[in-house]
Amino acid sequence: MNHDLINDFKNAKTVAIITGAGISAESGIPTFRGDQGLWKNFRAEDLATPDAFRRNPEMVWEWYDWRRGKCAAAEPNAAHVVLAEMENYFDDFLIITQNVDGLHRRAGSKNIIEIHGSIWKARCTQCGNVFASEVTPLAEIPLKCQDCGGLARPDIVWFGESYDMGLLDRAFSFLSQSDLVLIIGTSGMVNMPLYLARHALDGNAVLVEINPEETSMSSMMHYTLRDSAALIMPELWQKIRNI
Ligand code: NAD
Ligand code: ZN
């Protein structure tokens, strides 16, 4: 591993991490792009949309319950665990994740922004109430609001929906002050990580990518590490701490 990369980590005080589905792949949670991510031959793009939910809330909830089952059966992997340890090492540390699986929190990370929401939360389409829903399989489908009995939906940002601007503002302002940003397991096919990375670059952050494949963000990076996150993160962490 490159000596300058390790030094950049050692000198960094404010560190941001951007994670995508790839970091959870080795925990057994499929990404949307791989074959494993298919459910009954539907693509995620045809299920994770307001239209699909309007047409068939039962089907969308069945798909989410299938995914919740996979998330519940999965354990955080070495990459999640290293990130939880890193939080105590750097002065300021924030994980900005596109993942909805809850594995960062289960690994022990505290400072997390889930920009796409959480598979463990639901939101009422009638009264707007957001509530935890952590049992899978669900007792009834579709899920109903605990307050008013209205139809509930996953508290997730679907394709074509807008982001929570409050959360994004926090992410962007942290990135503009970051010394180093590590981008793990995201393809950048959803454009937000690209904007986030560019914003950090404008603020003079060092950018590092961990991904076995080249992505739409690779050309922006100061360093690219082409292997799986669960392999690279422990090695990187050992070098940063001189072990
Ligand atoms: P993506 O599926 O578009 O891309 C995954 C990326 O991870 C790819 O670039 C791939 O090369 C890389 N990758 C695969 N295995 C890896 C590994 N072992 N280590 C490091 N990188 C690896 O994922 P995305 O960019 O996060 O976007 C997909 C969308 O789907 C997001 O909005 C996300 O909310 C959602 N999603 C979430 C989960 C989850 O919560 N675990 C799972 C699937 C999809
Ligand atoms: Zn309600």
d(CA 213, CA 211): 5
Atom of ligand 1 nearest to the CA of 79: 19
* Residue in 80, 116, 199, 222 annotated catalytic: 116
For residues 213 and 9, give the distance between their C-alpha atoms in angstroms, rounded to a whole number: 22
CA of 145 to the centre of ligand 2 (A): 5
How does pLDDT run across 97-109, given as a tens digit for each residue? 999 999 999 999 9
Mean pLDDT check: name the lowest of 31-35, 50-54, 111-115, 222-226: 31-35
The structure tokens listed for 79 are 């990459």
Which atom of ligand 1 is the closest one to the Cα of 33?
2
Lowest mean pLDDT among 24-33, 37-46, 95-104: 37-46
Q: What are the start-end ranges of the H helices in 90-228?
A: 103-107, 165-176, 192-202
Catalytic annotation present for 116: yes
Confidence class of residue 155 from pLDDT cuts 50, 70 and 90? very high
The residue-averaged pLDDT of 14-30 equals: 96
Yes or no: say if 211 and 226 are a contact pair by the CB < 8 Å rule.
yes
| Ligand 1 site, CB within 6 A | 20-26, 29, 31-33, 98-101, 116, 184-187, 189-190, 210-213, 215, 228-229
Is pLDDT of 197 > 90? yes
pTM (2 decimals)?
Answer: 0.96
